[in-house]
Amino acid sequence: MSVSTAWAVPSPLSKYGGAFMSPASTTADNSPLAQVAGPGVDHSASRLSPSSPMFWVGAALLGAVGLAAMSTTVRVGPVRASASVGDA
């Protein structure tokens, strides 16, 4: 039940201002680390991820080479192996 009253109880903020205007204080457990100078953590995506621009550069390159066909031959002593893609 709410009680109506003509006398409004002031809040610490409305009465004292000052430090109560600042963001609420937090405990040490959930305080963010202070900003420091120095090398930061690399948050860039892996090159194998679709989020990486390099992934799409590689995909475009493979597509272009695939249209032109590709073949290769490897020979180690008497053993010979070859592979080809396309009409080569």
Partner 1 sequence: MPTQVTATTGPVRYMQGIAVPAESVRPPEFFARTRRRTFNEGSQTWNGFGGQNTWELKKSDIIAAAIIRFQGSLTVTPGTGSVATTARWPYDMLKAVRFTANGASNVINASGLKLKLREMQKRDNCNDRGIVNTFGGTSYNQGTLASASESWGVGSNTSALGAGTSNVDLYWVVPIAEDEVDLSGAIFAATSSTDLTIQVDMETAANLFNLTGNGAVSLTGNIQCTTVKYSIPIGSDGQIVVPDLSLFHSYIQSRTTQLGTGGNEVRLIGQGAGKTLLRTSFQVWNGATPAPLAMNATNFGEIAWRYGSNETPDDYLDGDVLRHINERIYNSDIGGIWGFGAIDFAAENAFRDAVDMGTTSDLRLLVTLQNGVTLSNAAIEYVQETIFQAGAGS
Q: How far is the CB of 6 from partner 1 (least distance, A)?
A: 10
By C-beta, is 27 or 73 nearer to partner 1? Answer: 27
Q: Which residues bind partner 1 (CB under 8 A)?
A: 1-5, 7-12, 14-22, 25, 27
Angstrom distance (rounded) from CA 86 to CA 73: 15
By C-beta, is 2 or 73 nearer to partner 1? Answer: 2
Cα separations (Å) of 68 from 62, 64, 84, 86? 10, 7, 12, 8
Asked if 70 and 85 touch (Cβ cutoff 8 Å), the reply is: yes
Q: How far is the CB of 12 from partner 1 (least distance, A)?
A: 6
